[in-house]
Structure 1
């Protein structure tokens, strides 16, 4: 798996393909609807988000302190980073579905986060 590079709100994919957050959200919703996954309730979706958070935790643990488990094989640094990227993407996808369900533009989350932090920690 090749790593995508992030620049501002655009993701630059290895073979010159580009997709921004809005385009990915539209693609994702269509993908979920085709598989009848979109209709799941927010409570079920929270369970998926929780599961993905656990998988992210495991990926970070593998990078930071390793994982000494008899069933696991050693992964290269590149494989660990690829896994981390996959898990972050899975969480992002769940968040994008929440945004769609509640009619929130995901791009607005960026400014909402910044505004909240600026209010909380004025310079």
Structure 2
């Protein structure tokens, strides 16, 4: 089942020719966006402590954080699409892996 986010992202990227990039270029974009997300998390949580930057309002920092999360998700959606994997399928595999790996009985004494 394709989500509205997947449908919109694929259509938007396709209109701009961004869907033509292969997996190696796409993973590069994903890593770049993950770095920008890391910077946004740092700014939101602890600031940047630079004399050339003014302190920004929390609402602005949160908006930037959300935008960067979206950029990561957009690239992940496109990468998944290259392998015909839906977000639902991806998250189900993730859930199954973690559930099996961290079963309660493994930690019972």
State TM-score, norm by structure 1.
Answer: 0.78
State the 1:72 CA deviation: 2.5
Higher radius of gyration, 1 or 2: 2
Contact between 2:27 and 2:79, CA under 8 Å: does it hold in 1?
A: no
State the 1:110 CA deviation: 1.9
Q: Which residue of 1 aligns with 2:77?
A: 96
Give the Cα–Cα distance (whole angstroms) in 2 for the partners of residues 33 and 70 of structure 1: 41
The structure whose residues are more often strand, as a share, is 1
Q: Which residue of 1 aligns with 2:17?
A: 36
State the 1:71 CA deviation: 3.7
**SS of residue paired to 2:25:** helix
Q: What are the superposed Cα offsets for residues 29-48 of structure 1, whole Å, 9 maximum, x if unpaired? A: 11111111110111111111
Match of 2:28 among 47, 66, 70: 47
Q: Any gaps of 5 or more consecutive residues in structure 1?
A: 1-20
List 4+ stretches of structure 1 deviating above 6 A. none
**SS of residue paired to 2:74:** helix
> Which gives a bigger RCO, structure 1 or 2 (Cα 8 Å, sep 6+)?
2
State the 1:69 CA deviation: 2.4
User: More displaced, 103-112 or 53-62?
Assistant: 103-112
RMSD between aligned residues? 1.3
**SS of residue paired to 2:55:** coil
State the 1:53 CA deviation: 0.8
Q: Any gaps of 5 or more consecutive residues in structure 2?
A: 105-109
1:22 matched to 2:7: no
Q: Which residue of 2 aligns with 1:56?
A: 37
State the 1:87 CA deviation: 0.6
The structure whose residues are more often helix, as a share, is 2
